[in-house]
Amino acid sequence: MWDFEEGEVLAFDKPLHWTSFDLVAKVRWNLCHKLGRKKLKVGHTGTLDPLATGVVIICTGKKTKLIDQLQYDVKEYIATLQLGATTPSYDLEKEIDATYPTEHITRELIDQTIPQFLGEQWQVPPIFSAVQINGKRAYEFARKGEEVELKPKLLVIDEIEVLAFDATTMQLTIRVVCSKGTYIRALARDIGERLHSGAHLTALRRTRVGNTRVEDCYTIENFLDALKNYEYVQNQ
């Protein structure tokens, strides 16, 4: 039996094009409506980009105190990269701004390059991100066309492997297990540079957070269906 006020930790498969805040807002509104409350603490343990899908952990009530702790859970992603082209956002949010040679890129070169990203890495976050700069989000500067310097952050990549490579389309699919604060978009940028070319993300799915796998998550639809049954039980 759920107790949303004492607190629950819920795992969702975030839909494409939703922000993490959109998901939190949807859950909060429905919970408040079912519980007949005007307010309820609801928060997530780690942002996932609108163009990504997959695991987002949401805490309610008193369990929101766990958010800081849960943010440090290891995360796993499946990412598809388009080699030979870049975008300002490092994904499909912005259009391609430059193209690069790819004739030299082979599976052998990729297999030699990808393991270089294992372990501790210094990564410069994307300018189109929520990183704070002088009290503002980096994307606020980016959307105005203002240039700012982002400081590199230390992160850890525990596992990285090639799942597929299509030499005809120059699409590369990888699996990444990494620490808090890792931007897979920035990793795509760095892989492109290390291959002496360019790259951007065309798809991203967070498949695991800690021990929670995406196949164990609620969709927003089946959670709302389950919530109807919760209301029914509560009214008995």
CB 83 within 8 A of CB 197: yes
Dihedral sign of CA atoms 4, 179, 115, 81 in order: positive
Catalytic status, residue 49: yes
| 139 to 145, 150, 209: CA distances (angstroms) | 10, 11, 25
Residue 186 neighbours by CB distance under 10 Å: 22
**Per-position b or e across 42-72, b if 16+ CB within 10 A of its CB:** bbbbbebbbbbbbbbbbbbbebbeebeebbe
Catalytic hit among 13, 49, 91, 190:
49
Q: Enter the tokens of residue 159.
A: 């596992």
**What's the burial of 88, exposed, middle or buried (CB within 10 Å: 0-12/13-18/19+)?**
middle
Listed in sequence order, the residues at least 6 apart from 61 whose beta carbon sits closer than 8 Å to its beta carbon are: 3, 4, 5, 6, 7, 8, 40, 41
Q: Give the whole-angstrom CA distance, residue 63 versus residue 33.
A: 20
Distance CA 144, CA 123 (A): 23
* Residues recognised as catalytic: 49
